[in-house]
Structure 1
Amino acid sequence: MSRNDALRAARLRVGWRSADAAADALTAHGQQLLDDRHFAVSARTWRRWEGPRPGWPSEDTALVLHDALGRWPEDLGFITPPGWIRPEHHEETTVQTTQLLAVTAPALVAGPLSPQQVDPQLVDYFQSQLEGHYRADMLLGPHDLIGTLGPQYQLIDKLTRSATGETRRGLLRVGAAYAALVGWLYQDAGDLSAAAFWRGITQEIAFRARDPHLIGYAMVNSAQVRTDLGDGAGVVDLCEAALDDARVVPKIRVMAMQQQAHGASLLRDRAAVDRLIDNADRILPQVNDDLPWGNACRRTPGYLEVQRATCYGRLGLGAEASSLWEQVLAAVPATARRDRGVYMARHATAAAAARQPEQAVHIAREVVDIAVETRSARMRRELVTLERAMRPWHDAPVGRDLAEALAPITEGT
């Protein structure tokens, strides 16, 4: 090459008609950006940059070029020197490290800690808190609770290190339940990496507690993350492993069967979906344990039909899924805002699949209000799925109505 065409094209794109004009403009831009009146680029330097051997600018100049032209030097024809790392990558690494520490700090406390006396009644205390946290999750959504539960788990872990005997086993069991709930909150918030981390913590503690029910529960929790990742085979593997242990209580078997049905729907196997949910339905009346965790199958109205409708929607069975959602939503209390919003979004997608776009938009308007209120990433993902299902009507008035309805959650994203 006889000249640096990439830099020349970028210069002309922003209206700098000559090397002299570019040098003056970049100098002014850099002095304002860096708050440094000594920053300067000469016309001679700019001409060299547009020549066959442009060299490499200083880090400050690289920042100014990027801010003025929207590209880093390596994208402007400069030859990248060894070891160059864009400043934005340093910032990304800092942000990622901060986020990782925020996720892992409550679970990974360095020890040893000072021993203390642990009263066995603390196990009951933490168990009694769980039901309130589950209710708050349904009412508030994930973001407000993550900051509360992390420190509580940290305290449980601290006490576990000093406890002995049955008190220690009890704290391990309740600690696993707290870790599972934190994992769910991150999953609902859309952070699957953090969710997978906390699911791993749940499994570790379940094995330490040597509790077959809790181990099965932990595997089903991991299968939930695999469902969100679209890994049908992984979901089936984990659920079959949970069901292999004949000792687990009926509640775990119900949870594993319904989650395996989700895996089957990802694998496009409707027959397996129906068989698994029907089998879970036969076992559901046997759920009578007093374990404080994993009680959604008792607490959620129409729990198994919710799962069937979700699987049908994933399979593209619009009319059948829509009919099921109408039955389910009739029984869901208005106070369960977050769950209701997720179900309605799935209902809207089923309506679109059933060629009822007007109904889909009507439902979506209420879902958007709930999504804004609860900040549930899961609900937003469901609305993205709805948007895809409505593409056949993109240019029609009903498509424009949907875009207007979704604006509060799509603007700025």
Structure 2
Amino acid sequence: MSRPVGNVRLKAARVAAGFNSQQALADALTEVSPQLGIRGLAVGVRQVRRWESATPPWPQPEVRRVLTHLLGQSLEDLGFTAPWGVEGGQGRGVTQQPMPSTPVNTRRVPVPAQSTPAKQPVSVGRDFEVITRSHRRLYWSVAPATLHPAVLEHTELGRALLPEISNPGRRLLAAALAESYLLAGRIEFFDLQQPEQAASTFTRALQAAGEANEALLGSAVLAHTAFIPGWAGDREAAAERMVAARTYARRAAPSAEFLAWLDAVEAECLTRCGDPATALRLIGHAEETLAAGSKHTTPAWMDWFSPVRLAAFKGNTQLEAGHLPQARETLLHALDSLPPTAEKQRTVVLGDLAAVEAADGRPQEACDYACQALEQLASTWYATGMERVREVRRVLAPWQNEQCVRDLDDRLYDWGTTVSALQR
């Protein structure tokens, strides 16, 4: 497979920001410039096309200001090189970014292109991938706050090694680096509830996937970026991300499971945006896709989806649609079918079952499920699961003087749970 030609870092940042075409970015740059006090600036699609070429020209000062404002990254992050060079720019207001000293800063460091002769053996790519694979497995049992710094340090190592290795090891390293960034972003979004940090990390993941020319991995990253506006209720932005994700998937060989997951992601975004009816139709399509199967295999890095997880998606959507008997049946089946290692998903399903019972006017049953979710959260923290429990407690407000609800409050606000929630 040949390497992609052009400035993949700018293209990745553009797509991750929701601009699916070069024309869309050009229009946005022109429209936003007056907001920054810049009058008369007009950017055309030909200019954006030149920026995404293999030798992007250095933008003019006013354009640089608008471009970095709109995409939220520095020019160097976006694949541009100053005409005077990084090392020669000390007297011109350009300084070389220092190596981050803490994991917190690694998201700000661009994915570098290879600009120096290879210094590392090709085997480095495989060695780096082994650690990435280990982190993937550790995610399901290690506390997010513990694993997250280690994953970010690993991405920093990969970023430093990438310019020092030639193909085919470079492509292997870039793909593993993209997966590591994706894992870091998943932890930030789902476990730590840090959507802004996750958005930046997902952009790094997409840039690394572009370096590896891995369209399917790029599709997975883009689908994850759709969660951010989707959970915030921005249906249009989420839909744009999903169009991009499906476009990237068509360039690869997606398995039936991967295509069903794309449907599930879009369905969850639609549910969060108040359209569970359309979401249920998408989930039905996902079920048909899984039943039909595919000759293509699911990549090893896609370990977050399965038919039982699709059922959990479906149960939540049925709950939001007000189909309580169907939601109860779907979620109970999903709970029975979850493997023992799916502790995080178990908290979500238990929380949704509690929500079903609360919506059905059964506070005792709702509290029982919520307490089970809290017991699971005590051993395996998952911010998304905790949010489900908190939402149930809000719904239970009419029964707050009932003993079962008071018992739930005692459990929800005990010392360990309260301190853990504040720490996270």
- Aligned counterparts, 1:92-131, within 5 A: 102-105=103-106, 108=109, 117-131=119-133
Gaps in structure 1 of 5+ consecutive residues: 1-98
Q: 1:178 to 1:243 in 2, by over 3 A?
A: same
- Aligned mate of 1:177, from 162, 176, 179: 179
Q: CA deviation at 1:130?
A: 3.8
CA contact (8 A) 2:277 2:321 kept: no
Matched, 1:230 2:230: no
1:2-401 correspondence runs (5 A): 102-105=103-106, 108=109, 117-187=119-189, 188-245=191-248, 246-248=250-252, 249-250=254-255, 251-284=257-290, 285-286=293-294, 288-289=296-297, 291-297=299-305, 300=306, 302-401=308-407
Residue type of the alignment partner of 1:159: L
* Structure with greater Cα Rg: 1
Q: Distance in 2 between matches of 1:290 and 1:244?
A: 18
- CA shift for structure 1 position 114: 8.1
Deviation, 1:346, is 1.9
> What amino acid does structure 2 have at the position aligned with 1:277?
I
Alpha carbons 1:220, 1:255 under 8 Å: kept: no
Question: Partner of 2:33 in structure 1?
Answer: none
- Residue segments in structure 2 that go unaligned for 5+ positions in a row: 1-99
C-alpha spacing 1:209/1:107, structure 2 compared with 1 (3 Å): farther
**Distance 1:323-1:392 versus aligned 2 partners, 3 A rule:** farther
Tell me the distance in 2 between the aligned counterparts of 1:306 and 1:185.
Answer: 20
The 1:229–1:287 alpha-carbon spacing in structure 2 relative to 1, beyond 3 Å, is farther
Change (3 A) 1:279 1:131: farther
Q: 3-state DSSP class of the match of 1:286? A: coil
Residue 103 of structure 1 aligns with an amino acid whose one-letter code is V
Post-superposition shift, 1:262? 1.0
User: 8 Å contact 2:140–2:343 — kept in the other structure?
Assistant: yes
Deviation (angstroms), 1:200: 1.6
Q: What whole-Å deviation, never above 9, does each CA across 1:95-120 have from its counterpart, x for those lacking one?
A: xxxx9964233651798998653333
Secondary structure of the corresponding residue to residue 140 of structure 2: helix
CA-to-aligned-CA distance 1:167-198 (integer Å, 9 cap, x gap)? 22222111111100000111212222221221
More moved, 231-240 vs 403-412: 403-412
CA pair 347-275 structure 1, distance change in 2 beyond 3 A = same
Which letter does structure 1 place at the counterpart of 2:104? V
Aligned mates of 2:345, 2:139 — CA distance in 1:
10
Q: Would the alpha carbon gap of residues 100 and 308 (structure 1) be closer, same or farther in structure 2, given more than 3 Å must change?
A: farther
RMSD value, Cα:
2.8
Distance of 1:198 and 1:100 partners within structure 2: 17
Query: Aligned partners of 1:212 and 1:109: how far apart in 2?
Result: 19
Task: Give aligned pairs, total.
Answer: 313
TM-score (ref. length: structure 1)? 0.68
* CA–CA separation in structure 2 for the residues paired with 1:291 and 1:351: 37
Higher relative contact order (CA 8 A, sep 6+): 2
* In structure 2, distance between residues paired with 1:106 and 1:235: 22
**2:300 alignment partner, SS class:** coil
- Tell me if the contact between 1:130 and 1:292 (Cα under 8 Å) persists in the aligned partners: no
Question: Contact conserved, 2:136 with 2:301, CA < 8 A, in 1?
Answer: no
TM-score using structure 2 length: 0.66
Alpha-carbon shift at residue 292 of structure 1 (Å): 3.1
SS at match of 1:165: coil
CA distance 1:358–1:110, shift in 2 (3 Å): closer
Q: How many angstroms apart in 2 are the aligned matches of 1:110 and 1:277?
A: 36
- Say if 1:341 and 1:370, in contact at 8 Å, map to a contact too: yes
